[in-house]
Amino acid sequence: MDFDLATVQSQLENWRDQIWLWMQTPSFLAQLSAIVLSILIAPLLAKILQRAIPFFKKEPAESVKYLKVRQILFKVGGLLRAVLLVLLLGLSSNILLAVPAFSEDWLVKLAQSLAAVFLVYRVIKVFLQEAFYRKLALWVLVPLSLIIVLGYFDEFKALLSGTVLLPMGNSPITAMTVVKLVVFGFLFFWVGNLSNVKGQSAIRSQENLDAGVREIVAKLFQIVLFAIIFFLVVGAAGIPLSGLVVVFSALGLGIGFGLQPIAANFISGLIILFDRSVKIGDYVNMEGDRFGRVKAINIRSTTVATADGKDIIVPNTKFTEDAYENWTHDNPLQRYEVDFGVAYDTDLDALVPLIRDAVLEHEDVLSDPDVPSVEFRSFGDSAINMCVEFWAEGIDDGPNKFTSDVGMIIWRTLKANNIEIPFPQRVVKNIK
């Protein structure tokens, strides 16, 4: 179709003439004045209400009662301007219709419809804090609201329902099916995520259950919950269960190729939870000098927290396929060693009980399964190399400094008994 400049120019002139005719009618001027006054009055009334109502004045402190309700009421204060604009335009419409000299409100109704779209926009901006959900809602709900208020929703719905994407007998997959899948998927999974957090928190708070059992039940709860949500979303979108065979076939093919590592980590996570080879709180040492305490066991990976505050994200397959050390798997007791050296003229027979008794006085050093053992190791170049072996409960890391404390005890004991801790010496002779 060729672009006809004369036709466009003629249409613009017709619109100009029509607007000029409207501007000369009292009804149009009254509607325009009502719209301008509503736009000016709405923010003024909003400020007055925000100052007059305590819930809208300032954000509630964390210690107040009914914190969630107070936070919602405070956020509602940010919607007052849009809400009042819609109400004022509706009031203006009724007033104009009641006055015989005007008796028209089509322009005010159009402005009210646009104000309703603005209200939807403000609700999204105020209540959705996460950037992804906010952008998704803005790009979906605002255009949809505009289509509804302009009266094109039925035509838009018919277009989506008539666009077939995948023929499936009597229930084809249409563009409307995809829209329902996205909308219901967002709503159900958002609610499901909140339920998952609350449910797992409630399960993990059951102190009468073993920690490992709580973790297994929490993960099973998560799997069952999202499986139920998946079928609810599919049913709400109108996808027949027979059509899921095609979806699962494609999914199985994807797992066989690109998703195989994810599936392997998922199965490994279940194996870890059920065989309990690794539990929350265990101290593990893996290849590459990576060690720390297990913080969380997730579906795809396990989080290991190191002593310096870092989290190591380890794929679950590392715990089912590779070798690693679990220092606290069955028994929290650990044996530690502290090396030291004494001079060659030291009485070792007197040294052994002296160091043993001193080390045993430490509150974390255990006498069971064995008392501290002071052992001879080797004859060094300048010292007799000795060692103290002792048992303690826990890991020598973070708040526990077993070897450091025992080393300090040995040093103080040797110093108090005038036992020399030698250092390497070299004698240089000048031969002429």
114 and 178 share one domain: no
Do the domain assignments include residue 378?
yes
CATH number reported for the structural domain that contains residue 366 in this entry: 3.30.70.100
Q: What is the mean pLDDT of residues 131-144?
A: 82
* Separation CA 269–CA 425 (nearest Å): 57
Q: What is the pTM of this model?
A: 0.50
Dihedral (CA of 22, 26, 27, 29) sign: positive
Residue ranges making up the domain that contains 99? 16-151
Could you tell me the CA-to-CA distances from 56 to 60, 149, 221, 226, 260 in Å, in that order?
Answer: 9, 30, 39, 37, 52
Question: Is residue 270 included in any domain, yes or no?
Answer: no
Q: Binning pLDDT at 50, 70 and 90, where does residue 6 land?
A: low
Q: What is the mean pLDDT of the chain?
A: 79
Residue 318 pLDDT greater than 70, yes or no: yes
**Residue 77 predicted with pLDDT over 70:** yes
For 155, what's the count of Cα atoms within 13 Å in the CB-facing half-sphere? 6
Question: What is the rounded distance in angstroms from the CA atom of residue 375 to the CA atom of residue 193?
Answer: 58
Looking at the structure, tell me whether residues 82 and 129 fall in a common domain.
yes
Buried b (16+ CB within 10 A) or exposed e, 230-263: eebbbeebebeeebeeeeeeeeeeebeeeeeeee
User: Looking at the domain assignment, is residue 427 inside a domain?
Assistant: no
123 vs 175 pLDDT, higher one = 123
Instruction: Choose the most confident range, by mean pLDDT, from 62-71, 147-156, 332-341, 348-357.
Output: 348-357
Q: Are residues 142 and 20 in the same domain?
A: yes
Residue with tokens 């599936």, as numbered in its chain: 263
- DSSP SS3 for 11: helix
Encoded tokens for 170: 């009597």
Q: Are both 33 and 97 inside the same structural domain?
A: yes
Mean pLDDT of the 270-286 span: 76
- Residue 291 in this model has a pLDDT that exceeds 70: yes
Shortest CA distance to 96 belongs to which of 81, 87, 106, 84?
106
Query: What per-residue confidence (pLDDT) applies to 411?
Result: 92
99 and 122 part of one domain: yes
Region 393-406 average pLDDT: 75
Does residue 216 lie within any of the structural domains? yes
User: CA-CA distances (angstroms) from residue 3 to 9, 11, 14, 381?
Assistant: 11, 13, 18, 100
d(CA 113, CA 108): 9
145 and 34: one domain?
yes
Question: Would 9 be classed as within a structural domain?
Answer: no
> Cβ(314)–Cβ(291) under 8 Å?
no
75 pLDDT more than 50: yes
Residue 428 in domain: no
pLDDT above 60 (res 255): no
Q: Are residues 186 and 134 in the same domain?
A: no
Task: Indicate if the pLDDT at residue 24 is higher than 50.
Answer: yes
**pLDDT level of residue 40 (50, 70, 90 thresholds):** very high
Same-domain pairing of 370 and 385: yes
- The top-scoring range by mean pLDDT among 78-92, 97-111, 131-145, 250-264 is 78-92
Sign of CA dihedral 254, 256, 260, 263: positive
User: pLDDT value at position 1?
Assistant: 45
Q: What are phi and psi of 200, to 5 degrees?
A: -65, -35
Beta strand pairing call for 301-305 and 365-366: unpaired
- pLDDT on residue 22: 64
Of 75-79, 165-169, 180-184, 223-227, which range is least confident? 165-169
Which of the listed residues 151, 178, 194 is the one where a domain comes to its end? 151
Q: What are phi and psi of 341, to 5 degrees?
A: -130, 150
Same domain, 136 and 175: no
Backbone phi and psi for residue 105, each to the nearest 5 degrees, phi listed first: -145, 20
Q: Which of 272, 291, 326 is the last residue of a domain?
A: 326
264 belongs to a structural domain: no
pLDDT (tens digit, 9 = 90+) per residue, 356-398? 989 888 888 888 888 888 889 889 888 899 999 988 887 766 5
Q: Please state the domain count of the chain.
A: 4
Do 81 and 131 share a domain, yes or no?
A: yes
Q: Once rounded to an integer, what is the mean pLDDT over residues 188-214?
A: 76
Percent of the chain with pLDDT over 70: 82
Does residue 265 belong to any structural domain of this protein? no
Average pLDDT, stretch 77-83? 87
Give the type of residue at 59.
Answer: E
- 339 or 199, higher pLDDT: 339
Match 């005010």 to its residue by tokens.
108
Same domain? 366 vs 321: no
Q: Are strands 290-297 and 333-342 parallel, antiparallel or unpaired?
A: unpaired
* % of the chain beyond a pLDDT of 90: 3
Burial zone of 63 (CB within 10 Å; 0-12 exposed, 13-18 middle, 19+ buried): exposed
Q: Does the pLDDT at position 189 exceed 70?
A: yes
Calpha distance 397→385 (Å, rounded): 25
What CA–CA distances, in Å, run from 166 to 160, 169, 175, 235, 243? 13, 10, 9, 17, 10
Query: Domain boundary at 91, 119, 151, which?
Result: 151
Q: Are residues 20 and 101 in the same domain?
A: yes
pLDDT at residue 104, rounded to an integer: 78
Tokens of 103: 């008796």
Contact (CB, 8 A) for 31 and 108? yes
Residues in a beta bridge with 136:
none
Q: Any idea what the CATH number is for the domain that residue 316 is in? A: 2.30.30.60
pLDDT given for residue 408 in this prediction: 92
